[in-house]
Amino acid sequence: MSEKTIMLCCAAGMSTSMLVAKMQTAAKEQGKEYDIFAVSASEIDQKLVEKEIDVVLLGPQIRYMKNDIEKKLVDKKIPMDVIDMQSYGMMKGAKVLEQAEGLMA
């Protein structure tokens, strides 16, 4: 059973999958059992029904969708933010994991 569930969202769900792998490695190295996965923007609603999500991170390329997605999360009290562009571009898994944990604190 995972401690926390972190959902990353991007346009197609593909570019974030590499970042997910790096975040999973960082979590494992820190002894944390997190369920970290990536979805496309079109899959967000479905995943919110299927899973208990603790935090949502948006890829910088869909930051324009932040307000719409926030509306879906407010009743569920799920924190959300846009992934720091530099951390995303350089695929800094540990840094993005830290960002997610900060939102869940």
pLDDT tier for residue 14 given thresholds of 50, 70 and 90: confident
Distance CA 68, CA 90 (A): 27
Taking 70 as the threshold, does the pLDDT of residue 3 lie above it? Answer: yes
pTM of the model: 0.94
Number of domains comprising the chain: 1
**Is 103 strand, coil or helix?**
helix
70-89 pLDDT tens trace: 999 999 999 999 999 999 99
Q: Which residues of 12-34 are buried (b: 16+ CB within 10 A; e: fewer)?
A: ebebbeebbebbbebbeeeeeeb
The residue from 6, 7, 9, 10 that is catalytic is 10
pLDDT of residue 1: 58
Q: Which residues contact 64 (CB under 8 A, 6 or more apart)?
A: none
CB 23 within 8 A of CB 36: yes
Instruction: Residue 31: give the domain boundaries.
Output: 4-104
pLDDT in tens, 31-73: 999 999 999 999 999 999 999 999 999 999 999 999 999 999 9
Selection from 44, 55, 49, 77 nearest residue 5 by Cα: 55
The CATH number assigned to the domain holding 34 equals 3.40.50.2300
Looking at the DSSP bridge assignments, the partners of residue 70 are none
Whether 9 is a known active-site residue: answer no
Confidence of residue 92 (pLDDT cuts 50, 70, 90): very high
